[in-house]
Structure 1
Amino acid sequence: MKRYIKTILLSAVLLVGITVSCKDSFLDRPPLGAIAETSLTNPNGVNGALIVAYRGLTGVQIGAWYTSANNWLWGGIRSDDSYKGSESLDQATEINPVERFEVLPNGPSVGNKWRALYDGIGMANIVLRLVEKTPEISAENKTRIIAEARFLRGFQHFEAKRNFGNVPYVDETIEGTDAYKALKNDQSIWPQIEADLKFAYDNLPGTQTAVGRVNKWAAGAYYGKALLYQSKFSEAKAVFDQVIANGTTSKGEKYGLVSEFKNVFRGEEENGKEIIFSIQYTVGDGTGGANSNKEGELTNPHNDGPGGCCGFYQPSQTLVNAYQVDAKGLPFLDTYKTMNVRSQESDPNNYPDRGMLDPRLDYTVGRVGVPYKDFGPAKATWIRQLANGGPWLPNKMIQWKDEIGTYYIPGGWGQTQLGKNQILMRYADLLLMDAECEVEVGSLDKALQYVNMIRTRAAGSSVVKMEDGKPVADYKVAPYSGPWTDKEAARKAVRFERFIELAQEGHRFYDLVRWGVADVVITDFLNRESKVRTSLAGAKFTKGKDEYLPIPEFVVNQSKVDGVANIKQNPGY
């Protein structure tokens, strides 16, 4: 896919991008611009439109941050695994209300997220309209193109559903202001999401000519995920089982766990066997950074740290505490929240903490005084504002020093370019989703097997060492022993493994919501952490409201027909 982006993207944007621009509204979809539709109804035009639809995953067409599917704001900072970070006044209008659950329907970041999602949906629908008007495309290619476009449409609607709750479904037959005004959000769109993803699963090939294109197995994984979000455990399990047994990457490599945990996030593994689906990014491709990961660049350590800007998305104390283990290498499932790992903030004379820790911690979180990838020990100066963002640094997705030039181009503020792909789903995620299904409707033994596959990988991975060659901490991690016999205990262990294995990957808030525990977990988090983190003081999570974002004000207003809005606001806003 990266090669396709380099050669087609710019011309495709010129041809197609103007047809999907949201401008200042959700409903007012402009017609084709200066380029006639007939210019696009040919194989190159359709393929270019499809590339643009993939690019819609980045949200870059909106010209604003926090719009891509990586969800470090929406899935991370709204959860208990991360703080906003940075300093209190930076992005205060865009992020502070989100972190504190005070976001309003006219909030800028909320409106931009909606625009990006429905713009992406519009891009997919354009492909579906064009392909039907292009007879030169073979039947086989036509089916593949439709399946890819329907996957992208289903994916974007899935994102809209889990972020905004009550949302309208838009297919390729919806064109013109009147049609958009007639849309309603009073019915669940899960059936349509399922239909799009299932069509892709049933019709896509197992391999693709470009590695970034979705294949049958990635579509199946997302189809299963949509079923899981509806608690359709038996149906989801059947799909997950097939993907685990038979799934391959678009290159044809069998899905599996890479041997080293840290390598999952290395550029050299960005399209490897553990990656099910990702956003493809590049640098050094002659576009001046147009295809780089702009949102990821915001999460670099600050000042003289790797990247130099901007210090957002800092891990929480709660997350760091979750990596503590007992003498057997097992987590403290019930007591970890009250056992604080020491830092330069909590104990300036005795840090870093060298106690018994899961080794995944120091490849997920940066700790001052601990070697940070290949940059040497992390420094306190890398933290932008300790009181606001806390003592921990993002680590997992940050570039390594030896990746500079290939996957990262340094520069001044706003000029850095991060070219590593953004992982959206990986094999460990798939295993843990299937483990959830096994707990609910299948075999506790199978759930244990999946969790232990991940823990065994962690146990066999290398650990972070100081310059003298000694491990930084008393690292321990071990598989669970013996059979699981208690369903509730198994459920707790599977969910906890998702917390620590997938930390800082934008999943946590959505997991808490679909498990029905967001109010309990986040209220407890705010009550504890606000005693130290001034940015959280007075913040409150309201059950029945804050599980979803408000429908943007402009969407409701522009859906009015004879003064009555067809798009209704979410409860509590």
Structure 2
Amino acid sequence: MSKIISIIKNTVLAAGVVMLVEGCEVDIMPTSRYSEESTWSNPANIELYIAENYNEFQRFKFGTFPIGYDNATDALTDIMKYTSTVSGNGTVNILATDASRVNAAGPQLNYWQNAYARIRRLNEFIDGINKYGKIDDAAKKQYEGEARFIRGYVYFWLVKLHGSVILFDNINQYGDKAHERSSEEDCWKFIAADFQFAADNLPAQWPTTKTGRATKGAAFGMLARTWLYAASIAEYDKKQFNADELTGVSAANAQTYYQNAATAAQAVIDMASQGYYALESNFASTFYNKNTKEALFKIDFVSPQLKHTYDQGFAPPNDAPGQCLVYGVPTAQLVDEFEMKDGTKFLWSNSTQAANPYANRESRFYASILYNNAMWKGRALNTTAANTQEGFAEYGVSTEPRRTVTGYYAKKMLDSTNTTFIVNGSTQQWIEMRYAEVLLIHAEAMTKLNNISAAQQSLNKVRNRAGLPNTNASTTEQMMEAVEHERKVELAFEGHRYWDLRRWRKAHTLLNGVRFSGHRITPAGAGYNYEVVNCDNANRQFTPALYYIPIPTTELQNNQGLTQIKGW
């Protein structure tokens, strides 16, 4: 019995109760006589199998992947600091300060085996429904669109990590035991082709019984993201960091790929004009409104069947004394990045602002950051060093302080109404892609195409929603700086910062040889003193080799045709 038939058999049998309740008729042959045809000719099996493949997105919820802790890649950057010093809760700190921990023999930043297992299952699904599916051609295209959306997403992660990977688009390729890597440029094109196919064949909207499935807008959004990454690497990499013949993207194609990104983003913008998408009027509600039009693709949670532990991981300690883990907290670098509500830059050198640094800030600050004296669940937070429950603790003094090491807590995506998350878990949604990101993709691509007015228009939509005035940026350089700033604050804690710095090829300068900071807050008369203190006890390390993560040694041993990325 083939692996695919075994999976389908087990899925069907496990789901039998559900199908009986829903009244679906499933013609199950004796297990000794299962065949490809009997499996894929049953529409109920097809529906079950594609639904199971959506489980792949659970791997990435709340920025969990690839380190295994929510928001962990943000903690590799300048916007978040994890509090623990030991392996496990503090693995991200070890990786951030010791580049040698990422190597071909280690498990860190590794998706290879799981990714290719999923890709094979998707390819078998596509082959099976096209050969044997007793559904009309339009339905076949739609199912294939869903499968290719998921496959494109899986490959997107592989290529973000490694650049050059093995491309499989049909099951006939699996007979050969020697598979070579394709060029990075061909990999980005392959991903784009998957998302384009999905965009061409998926509905703009599913019925309520099938919410959570990939849509035309989600596919166009991911297509825009894909082309933006390819364009960025074409512009910024220029083979400066890796000698492998298969890594890198031709610099001559940068403008074409930026145009492709802009075109795909514009398709989503056009759908927004038709009522499918919109920015939430209130930034904070985006992450809690289950019916938000800002979400292009999201994972919903429903208690008690499907829940998560985000609140336990990031809530201030007194939300559940002794049980909050406080994985990561915002850095001073992020806190200081949020503007004043009038759109001016916050500056500690401004005596008025420094005297009351949390007053009159933009709305995203109050939706994203918990600070000293902020109201939270009926209490005023005390993050001063004198408070031993949830106040400042110097990083490194305790291996597991379980309180802030920067003077701040992350508020964004915490549920302010959930007071029982230890017992009952959490159910706020995870949005993989939202309309604000699409607007920022469009703004960046248009900036690179020197269409400043179009770039300003998209960027200003994001700023205006936050109550901020239009950008003052008017040149390509100024606009790019504005885009980078907006992505840093708008998308904070959503898992973009590390990958943005990598694709812009800025990580080896901004994340290397530096220590990030927090604020030790102490009472001083009627006010407070804000002392800048390191939240790192060792310099960060990001070597240029890390722009391309090595392929695990075990995979090289299993595949005779696979070669390691040069430099590793």
- What TM-score, normalized by structure 2, do the two folds share? 0.76
- For residue 278 of structure 1, the aligned residue among 279, 282, 298 is 298
What corresponds to 2:522 in structure 1?
none
- For residue 343 of structure 2, the aligned residue among 308, 312, 329 is 329
- CA contact 1:258–1:274 (8 Å) conserved in 2: yes
Determine if the alignment matches structure 1 residue 478 to structure 2 residue 488. no
Query: Aligned partners of 1:49 and 1:125: how far apart in 2?
Result: 12
Query: Aligned partners of 2:104 and 2:391: how far apart in 1?
Result: 32
Query: Aligned partners of 2:337 and 2:120: how far apart in 1?
Result: 41
Equivalences for residues 301-380 of structure 1 within 5 A: 301=315, 303-305=317-319, 308-325=323-340, 328-331=342-345, 353-372=357-376, 374-380=377-383
Give the deviation of 1:149 after TM superposition: 0.4
- For residue 95 of structure 1, the aligned residue among 92, 111, 115 is 92
Equivalences for residues 146-545 of structure 1 within 5 A: 146-173=144-171, 179=176, 181-185=178-182, 188=185, 189-209=187-207, 210-231=210-231, 232-247=257-272, 253-266=275-288, 269-285=289-305, 291-293=306-308, 296=310, 299-301=313-315, 303-305=317-319, 308-325=323-340, 328-331=342-345, 353-372=357-376, 374-380=377-383, 381-382=389-390, 386-388=394-396, 389-401=405-417, 403=418, 410-411=421-422, 417-459=425-467, 477-480=468-471, 484-523=473-512, 525-526=514-515, 532-533=533-534, 535=536, 537-543=538-544, 545=545
Equivalences for residues 52-201 of structure 1 within 5 A: 52-59=52-59, 66-67=65-66, 72-74=71-73, 76-83=74-81, 85-89=82-86, 91=88, 94-100=91-97, 101=99, 102-111=101-110, 113-173=111-171, 179=176, 181-185=178-182, 188=185, 189-201=187-199
- CA contact 1:9–1:51 (8 Å) conserved in 2: no
Query: Aligned partners of 1:78 and 1:134: how far apart in 2?
Result: 47
Number of residue pairs the alignment of both structures matches: 488
Amino acid at match of 1:504: F
**CA 1:245–1:360 in 2, change beyond 3 Å: closer, same or farther?**
same
Amino acid at match of 2:506: V
- CA contact 1:15–1:40 (8 Å) conserved in 2: no
Asked which structure has the greater CA Rg, the reply is 2
Gaps of 5+ in 1: 1-7, 17-32, 286-290, 460-476
- CA contact 2:297–2:433 (8 Å) conserved in 1: yes
Gaps of 5+ in 2: 1-7, 17-30, 232-256, 384-388, 397-404, 520-531
- Helix, strand or coil for the counterpart of 2:512? helix
Query: Aligned partners of 1:387 and 1:513: how far apart in 2?
Result: 26
Give the deviation of 1:513 after TM superposition: 1.7
What corresponds to 1:21 in structure 2?
none
**CA 1:11–1:297 in 2, change beyond 3 Å: closer, same or farther?**
farther
- Helix, strand or coil for the counterpart of 1:91? coil
**CA 1:89–1:485 in 2, change beyond 3 Å: closer, same or farther?**
closer
Query: Aligned partners of 1:451 and 1:391: how far apart in 2?
Result: 31
Amino acid at match of 2:156: F
What corresponds to 1:29 in structure 2?
none
Residue deviations 1:132-173, cap 9 Å, x none? 243322222111000010011011101111123222223331
**CA 1:386–1:224 in 2, change beyond 3 Å: closer, same or farther?**
same
- CA contact 1:185–1:568 (8 Å) conserved in 2: no
Give the deviation of 1:36 after TM superposition: 3.9
Task: Report the more deviating stretch, 234-243 or 502-511.
Answer: 234-243
Give the deviation of 1:369 after TM superposition: 2.3
Query: Aligned partners of 1:15 and 1:40: how far apart in 2?
Result: 15
Query: Aligned partners of 1:79 and 1:448: how far apart in 2?
Result: 27
- CA contact 2:394–2:535 (8 Å) conserved in 1: no
Give the deviation of 1:192 after TM superposition: 1.0
Amino acid at match of 2:290: E
Query: Aligned partners of 2:10 and 2:76: how far apart in 1?
Result: 35
Query: Aligned partners of 1:82 and 1:536: how far apart in 2?
Result: 15
Task: Report the more deviating stretch, 225-234 or 37-46.
Answer: 37-46
Query: Aligned partners of 1:422 and 1:69: how far apart in 2?
Result: 16
Query: Aligned partners of 1:68 and 1:15: how far apart in 2?
Result: 31
What corresponds to 1:568 in structure 2?
563
Query: Aligned partners of 1:551 and 1:432: how far apart in 2?
Result: 32
- CA contact 1:452–1:479 (8 Å) conserved in 2: yes
Identity, in percent, stands at: 22
What corresponds to 2:243 in structure 1?
none
**CA 1:37–1:15 in 2, change beyond 3 Å: closer, same or farther?**
farther
Task: Report the more deviating stretch, 515-524 or 49-58.
Answer: 515-524
Amino acid at match of 1:411: I
What corresponds to 1:466 in structure 2?
none
Query: Aligned partners of 1:37 and 1:354: how far apart in 2?
Result: 65
Amino acid at match of 1:196: D
- CA contact 1:299–1:310 (8 Å) conserved in 2: yes
**CA 1:69–1:144 in 2, change beyond 3 Å: closer, same or farther?**
farther
- CA contact 1:366–1:395 (8 Å) conserved in 2: yes
